[in-house]
Amino acid sequence: MFILLIDLITDRERGFAHINADVYAAGNFSTAGNATVNNVAKWDGTSWSSLGSGLNRSVSVLGIGTGGTIIAGGSFSTVGDGSKATSFFGIYNDVPRTILNSVSPASGSIGSSVQLTGVNLTEAASVSFNGTITTAITTNTATSLTVTVPTGATTGPITVTTALGTSNGIIFTVVVVPLTITAVSPVANARTAARTSPVQVTFNQALAASSAGALKVYSAQRGGLRTQGSTPAVVGPGTLTYTPPAARPFMPGETVQSTITTAATSSVSIALARPRVVQFTAAVAGTGRGIFSGTTNYSVPVSNGNTDHLAMGDVDGDGDLDMLTANDNPTGTVSVRFNNGAGTFSGTQSVAVDGFPRVVELADVDGDGDLDFLAVNDRSSNSNSAYGSSVSVRFNNGAGVFSGTQNVETGDFSFGLAIGDLDGDGDLDFATANYSSTDVRVRLN
């Protein structure tokens, strides 16, 4: 059945087009049905309506463009209200669109909530923050929605995607809150920390579960790297914590060194910008007040040389302190003596190092949970200098048996050795003080 629509238009119509059930008419007329129009009108099957403010003069032809746009040609020069010039050719989009009007607040950090207002926001499928897509939409109406700023978002336009398509964009500034350390316990350089003290690092925000490996705790005299295997660090609400087992507390008077590496990452993927190294001393106890007695002496077989230096640490993992000596002789050895737990030492293991070792120190340089040793040698077998020195590195198998042949070149006449995490990456490096070359040499692990 035909419906007479033309009679409802006050003057001559010159073009028709349709999109689905909607019919568009154009020509030289000012009313269509009960609607006041400017030369173009729309019939939706029930009534006529204007197309925006129309056009200021007659329209000769209508067409349909991509996306449902209406294309008009004629003798017009502006839109109907004169607000925009559009000489002889105009495009009108009559398809409902998703429009974004405002973002509040205009800036925020990852994980914060943002309210968007606009038109046709119902059933928003996703929100894009400068290309980072999120579906974390908590409330959603036709004119507003609330969304959480996603991990990875950067400053740029926010857009909303609905069944009608993607909206216009409004600039949103992502504020990056740096991950920082707010406290450490025991406090740095504490002199009498309880031997069972948890090592805890507190941050200004929640951490990702993967941050557990960022805390490295090193015991100088027992077990080396503590945070591994069955005793890792634990991620809490904004904390990293290592608790020494009751059966393996820190040794009395030992220095405990901890590194918090840049592997610490917030729950919104912000990494710690700079590592931190802290240390403390475990408390001593007992009745001793610094008055010494006893006449126990242990001979160290050194051929053609002297015993120059001593280091104490639990190298066989039985909970007491064993003894290592640097034997200053041409062949170069470090002697290892095991403690029976009562301060009596036995064993005659001699470990070959470079020539004339002056200093020996214990440290877990390979991070396997036992104490290795480093020996500073007056003479390096590989140096071109007559006074060239080296540091011999020998690895522990966990039972106090040492092996390896690594000799690291240092300066001339190296007499001093210090071990610590110098670059904050979680492992132990060393530095030597050198007499003849009058310098300090740093070697990173």
Strands (E), 122-247: 126-129, 132-134, 137-140, 144-148, 156-162, 165-166, 170-174, 181-185, 199-203, 215-219, 234-236, 239-242
- Asked if the peptide bond before residue 150 counts as cis, ω within 30 degrees of 0, the response is no
CATH number for 190: 2.60.40.1220
CATH number for 133: 2.60.40.10
Closest residue by Cα to residue 160 from 209, 104, 119: 119
What was the pLDDT predicted at 83? 58
- Do the Cβ atoms of 120 and 92 come closer than 8 Å? no
Report the amino acid identity of residue 369. G
Closest residue by Cα to residue 299 from 327, 261, 331: 327
What was the pLDDT predicted at 80? 59
What was the pLDDT predicted at 84? 66
- Nearest-5° angle of CA 244, CA 248, CA 254? 85
Closest residue by Cα to residue 102 from 184, 194, 169, 193: 169
Cα–Cα distance for residue pair 284/299, rounded to 1 Å: 29
Instruction: Report residue 3 as tokens.
Output: 């419906």
Cα–Cα distance for residue pair 201/181, rounded to 1 Å: 7
Cα–Cα distance for residue pair 67/194, rounded to 1 Å: 73
What was the pLDDT predicted at 62? 83
Report the amino acid identity of residue 68. G
Q: 420 forms bridges with which residues in the sheet?
A: 429
- Do the Cβ atoms of 73 and 59 come closer than 8 Å? yes
What was the pLDDT predicted at 61? 84
What was the pLDDT predicted at 98? 86
Which of 76, 93, 110 corresponds to the end of one domain? 93
- Asked if the peptide bond before residue 105 counts as cis, ω within 30 degrees of 0, the response is yes
Which of 250, 282, 314 corresponds to the end of one domain? 282
Query: Are 106 and 212 in the same domain?
Result: no
Residue 120 domain-assigned (yes or no): yes
Residue 6 domain-assigned (yes or no): no
Query: Are 170 and 193 in the same domain?
Result: no
What was the pLDDT predicted at 295? 79
Q: Which domain holds residue 118?
A: 99-175
pLDDT tens over the chain, length 445 residues: 344 454 455 566 677 787 766 788 888 888 888 888 888 888 887 888 887 778 888 888 888 765 567 788 888 887 756 656 666 666 666 567 788 999 999 999 999 999 999 988 988 999 999 999 999 999 899 999 999 999 889 999 999 999 888 988 999 999 999 999 999 999 999 999 999 999 999 999 999 999 999 999 999 999 999 999 889 999 999 999 999 999 999 999 999 999 999 999 999 889 999 999 999 999 998 888 888 888 788 888 777 778 889 999 999 999 999 999 999 888 889 999 999 999 999 887 899 999 889 999 999 999 999 999 999 998 776 656 656 789 999 999 999 999 999 999 998 888 899 999 999 999 999 999 998 889 999 999 9
Tally of domains in the chain: 4
Q: What is the dihedral of CA 84, 86, 90, 94, to 10 degrees?
A: 0
